Structure 1
Amino acid sequence: MTPVDPTTRTVRRSDHTTIRYTATGPADGPALVLIHGWGCDRGDFGAVTGHLPDDRRVLAVDLAEHGASRSTRDVWTIEEFGRDVAAVLDAEAVTAAVVAGHSLGAAVAVEVGRLLPGTVTHVVALDGLHYLGLFPAQDERRTAAAIGRFRDDFPAAVRGLVEGGSPTGTDPALKDAYVARMGAVRQPAGTRAIEGLVRWDMDAALRGTKQPITVYAVRDLIAQEAIDRYGDRFTIVPVDLGSHHFPVEAPRETARLLAGIGG
């Protein structure tokens, strides 16, 4: 694909949040919204966008305090991130869209589907939603322990996230690069966003989300328990495209997966 009219745009949510996003492709094309993961930014989808069909309208969003987006707000829930993305769809007058998110972005995509049931036609998770240690609602003891790891030793906690998303054989230099990048997330939003993720009740969110959901999950990272728990709610498709960050590592193949999702 040769990008058509790629532009960086801004939408302001009240006085506390400015969201930056990139719009690519014809304004009247079928819309695909791309949401990055925690500690990352819309640049993760730059190469993916370049491999999508020419007629696709692609909106790649920087979540608050990630990439070029800024916010001084006090609320850092997954629902609030969903409102960031919903504001972009509203600004672009999108009437129908597939919303795809990587990792934490997959949780945000679910919330966008819940917020905009008449607009979002399909939710896609790129190695998200199947991690049972994060996504289902945790009891307060486990929640406090998870958040405490980031507050007590942030670099080590980030390293743990990256290691957990790295199948055997992942290049150590690649893992180090992800650790460095994610570890540089702006604070306090970075830690607060992790808290929002850990406190997110995915089961409740799924009950309020009616769209079909497709999960492209790294084969070596899928737990049978996740398949047993959620197999009747979303379609889990194993992929062999690299680590948890496979959209960065395999952009052409990721674009092929996304292009195959219908409304």
Structure 2
Amino acid sequence: MSTQSEFGAVRAVERNDTTSIRYTVRGPETGHTWILIHGWGCRRADFTALTAALPDDHRVIAIALAGHGDSRSTREVWSMAEFARDVAAVTDAEGVARATVVGHSMGGAVAVEFARLRPAVADRVIGIDTFHYLSLYPPVAESAARRLLDEFAADFPAGVRGLVDMGSVPGTDPGFTETIFAKMAGIPESVGIRALEGILRWDMDEALAAVTTPVSTLAVRRLLNPAAVDQYRDRIGFVVHELGGHHFHLEAPEQTAELLLAELSSDRDGPNRRYS
């Protein structure tokens, strides 16, 4: 099934009886392919302006993960690996042979898992403000994970508010922050909590060791923990910038596209050379 919007063709793929994934495709099949994966509580529409800023002769596929936006699922497993299977269902359906996989926040973890699942397809993984939150990656201690999940279960909106505040930087437009909060708080609570548990259980160290795909991240300077750079500089390229907060791809889509294109053409050796 396919419908047309001003931003491309909107299509759906049925993974099984429990899961239907919707996505948008823009650009020719012969162009360089980008796979865009949103973060926790977010939407594929978050990439609309970014998609428009990428070259017209590139193919851009923006995916709504299960339980987010207009993708539906009643499944029981909400791990990063299972989300990666959502992405693989789309790339299989579209016949994608090679692609640069971009993931925002939780989407970065999904992108790495996709690179493990489809190593021949994932030419490169680029995170959007992800991989450097040491309070999430690698997996959180069981007591800390249970405490956070219990807090979300007790007051889901308050938990979402905490996430939004954590990703904000001084000077952010309050109206923008409220828009982000309203969107993220709109995720079904059951999906949100189980997906959050999937993040907390994800072992980034183990995942990175299992893939050979080059991995980098566009990291917000004021949100970047230098300890993460020290720990992962030999495996992850840190491209540090000041374009906004955690959702900077919405605040500055054209500049984000420029960073992505520069990273696409950069030397793949010596990942930490871009950190300063």
1:130 corresponds to: 132
**Is 1:39–1:182's contact at 8 Å kept on the other side of the alignment?**
yes
Counterpart mapping for 1:212-251 below 5 A: 212-251=214-253
**Is 2:129–2:246's contact at 8 Å kept on the other side of the alignment?**
yes
1:206 corresponds to: 208
2:183 corresponds to: 181
- Corresponding pairs, count: 261
Alignment of 1:88 with 2:101, yes or no, is: no
1:178 CA displacement: 1.3
> Take 1:141 and 1:74, find their aligned partners in 2: how far apart are those partners?
23
> What is the aligned-residue identity percentage?
49
1:99 corresponds to: 101
> Take 1:5 and 1:245, find their aligned partners in 2: how far apart are those partners?
20
Deviations 1:178-233 (A, max 9, x none): 11110110231111111111111111111111111111000000011111111111
> Take 2:207 and 2:111, find their aligned partners in 1: how far apart are those partners?
11
1:116 corresponds to: 118
1:78 corresponds to: 80
> Take 2:8 and 2:157, find their aligned partners in 1: how far apart are those partners?
35
Task: Tell me the SS of whatever aligns to 1:40.
Answer: coil
| 5+ long unaligned stretches in structure 2 | 266-276
1:5 CA displacement: 8.1
| 5+ long unaligned stretches in structure 1 | none
After TM superposition, the score normalised by the length of structure 1 is 0.96
> Take 2:264 and 2:219, find their aligned partners in 1: how far apart are those partners?
19
1:58 corresponds to: 60
**Is 2:7–2:48's contact at 8 Å kept on the other side of the alignment?**
no
After TM superposition, the score normalised by the length of structure 2 is 0.92
2:262 corresponds to: 260
Deviations 1:114-145 (A, max 9, x none): 11111101000000111011121122111111
Judge which range, 36-45 or 181-190, deviates more: 181-190
Compare relative contact order (CA 8 Å, sep 6+) and give the higher one, 1 or 2: 1
Deviations 1:216-259 (A, max 9, x none): 00000001111111111110111111110001110101111222
The 1:225/1:20 distance shift into structure 2, 3 A limit, reads: same
> Take 2:51 and 2:82, find their aligned partners in 1: how far apart are those partners?
25
The 1:53/1:16 distance shift into structure 2, 3 A limit, reads: same
**Is 1:48–1:247's contact at 8 Å kept on the other side of the alignment?**
yes
> Take 1:90 and 1:124, find their aligned partners in 2: how far apart are those partners?
20
> Take 2:114 and 2:6, find their aligned partners in 1: how far apart are those partners?
26
1:13 CA displacement: 0.6
**Is 2:37–2:111's contact at 8 Å kept on the other side of the alignment?**
yes
Judge which range, 138-147 or 16-25, deviates more: 138-147
Cα RMSD after superposing both structures: 1.4
1:149 CA displacement: 1.7
